[in-house]
């Protein structure tokens, strides 16, 4: 049995943050029903496409699935339902009656304009947990602002912390503004379901992209930085200590972090720089001597390969690792051993596609958390309407004919 088995979640999300949240819930065993419009969200039109004819950049064939839905649609049933039509919304309300949770990431006010916001849905199903992911939340002066990953990284202050002192503010290279809220949303849904099971009533879970990144920022002593005049951007180093940073080798770069006097003493012995021992007990701390210390370590690493540097530093108990390319997860032995990435499968093909997707980043000793392949757009429309709402084949065929439900033509 999977942890969330027996729970039904309606996935009314788009693009990254919401679909990511619902992927986690599906991988944990919830029955996730993804509801999309007749054309699907924008990711259905973004190449590359994968299908019986292999991988290509378009046009998209009937059996082709783009990479993004192939990755974030794993473990979900896919239903096409036109919520712009009242009859489509009525079918949606009937699904809400029979579901445990709803996740959506529309801007505030959109679902209210359609008559399917939380107050309306709570009246239908008081046990419903409704999770909404937005840029800035459902209240406050920024409520109406549109937001994307780059923008929320800027507003949160993270960009001011990222980059080198002599360069411009820089975004983090992955979409943390989208993915981190997806993680918090999944936690919020599970927590609200636990409370519902104890108290008998659901609730509204409000997850903001900005709040999520602020939570990451304030794990650091930001107040203290300002008080003592430490720079906002320090590149890969840290003004509070040394050596901390990236160092060039004969074949690349390594990242190194030293903590504690014992590590420091072992390191200067390793690189044959005992003359630096004086910095071990200086009351100002080694952070004040970063340039001297970093130069000494850099001179040593530049004469060795990355593997040699990592092996030597690991041998004295110091944290170090090679700076690897972004796609290294496919070949890194630790990632392979942990199965942190899984080959993406197409529902119509026997062999896996050449693409990979992240596995659920947790392991459970008594649960298999590998989700099923993603479905085609609208693949489960008939089955869901038949199994959950008891619609007849004739009723489903009529809905299809009128464009209310089904796959796009």
Write the CA distances from 337 to 306, 320, 332, 333, 341, integer angstroms: 21, 20, 9, 6, 10
pLDDT exceeds 90 at position 344: yes
Instruction: Specify whether 178 is catalytic.
Output: yes
Burial class of residue 408, CB neighbours in 10 A (0-12, 13-18, 19+): middle
237 against 226, higher pLDDT: 237
Q: Alpha-carbon distance 63 to 75, whole Å?
A: 18
Average pLDDT for 123-146: 96
CATH number of 244-248+253-322: 3.30.1540.10
Give the pLDDT of residue 196.
98
Query: What are the tens digits of pLDDT across the range 88-119?
Result: 999 999 999 999 999 999 999 999 999 999 99
Instruction: Please state which architecture CATH assigns to domain 8-216+340-401.
Output: 3-Layer(aba) Sandwich (3.40)
DSSP letters for 330-364: GT-HHHHHHT-EEE---TT-SSPPS-EEEPPS---
Q: Are 137 and 143 in contact (CB under 8 A)?
A: yes
Instruction: Average the pLDDT over each of 21-35, 265-279, 308-322 and give the range with the smallest value.
Output: 265-279
Q: Alpha-carbon distance 184 to 208, whole Å?
A: 9
Which tokens belong to 210? 């900005």
pLDDT exceeds 70 at position 173: yes
Average pLDDT for 303-321: 96
Please report where in the chains the tokens 């430490």 appear, as a residue: 230
Give the pLDDT of residue 111.
97
Domain ranges of the chain: 8-216+340-401, 244-248+253-322
**From 11, 117, 178, 294, the catalytic residue:** 178
């Amino acid at each position: 049995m999977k942890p969330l088995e027996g729970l039904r979640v309606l996935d009314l999300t788009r693009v990254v943050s919401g679909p990511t949240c619902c992927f986690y819930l599906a991988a944990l065993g919830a029955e996730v029903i993804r509801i999309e419009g007749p054309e699907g969200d924008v990711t259905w039109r973004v190449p590359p496409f994968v299908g019986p004819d292999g991988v290509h950049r378009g046009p998209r064939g009937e059996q082709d699935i783009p990479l993004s839905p192939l990755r974030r649609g794993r473990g979900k049933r896919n239903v096409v339902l036109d919520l712009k039509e009242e009859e489509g919304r009525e079918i949606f309300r009937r699904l809400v009656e029979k579901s445990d949770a709803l996740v959506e990431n529309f801007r505030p006010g959109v679902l209210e304009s359609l008559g399917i916001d939380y107050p309306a849905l709570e009246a239908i199903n008081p046990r419903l947990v409704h999770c909404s992911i937005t840029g800035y939340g459902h209240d406050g002066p920024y409520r109406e602002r549109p937001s994307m990953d780059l923008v929320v990284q800027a507003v949160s202050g993270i960009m001011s912390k990222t980059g080198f002192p002599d360069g411009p503010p820089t975004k983090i290279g992955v979409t943390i503004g989208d993915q981190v809220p997806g993680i918090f949303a999944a936690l919020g849904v599970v927590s609200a379901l636990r409370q519902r099971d104890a108290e008998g009533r659901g609730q509204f879970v409000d997850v903001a992209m900005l709040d999520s990144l602020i939570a990451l920022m304030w794990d650091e002593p930001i107040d203290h930085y300002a008080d003592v005049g430490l720079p906002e951007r320090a590149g890969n180093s840290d003004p509070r200590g040394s050596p901390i940073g990236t160092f060039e080798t004969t074949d690349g770069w390594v990242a190194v972090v030293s903590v504690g006097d014992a590590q420091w003493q072992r390191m200067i012995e390793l690189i044959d720089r005992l003359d630096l021992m004086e910095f071990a007990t200086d009351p100002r701390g080694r952070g004040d001597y970063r340039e001297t210390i970093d130069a000494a370590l850099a001179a040593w690493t530049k004469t060795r390969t990355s593997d040699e540097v990592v092996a030597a530093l690991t041998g004295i108990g110091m944290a170090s690792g090679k700076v690897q390319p972004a796609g290294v997860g496919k070949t890194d032995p630790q990632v392979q051993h942990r199965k942190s990435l899984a080959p993406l499968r197409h529902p119509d093909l026997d062999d896996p596609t050449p693409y990979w997707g992240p596995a659920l980043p947790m392991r459970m000793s008594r649960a298999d958390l590998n989700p099923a392949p993603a479905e085609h757009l609208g693949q489960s429309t008939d089955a869901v309407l038949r199994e959950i709402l008891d619609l007849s084949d004739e009723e489903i065929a009529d809905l299809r004919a009128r464009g209310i439900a089904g796959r796009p033509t």
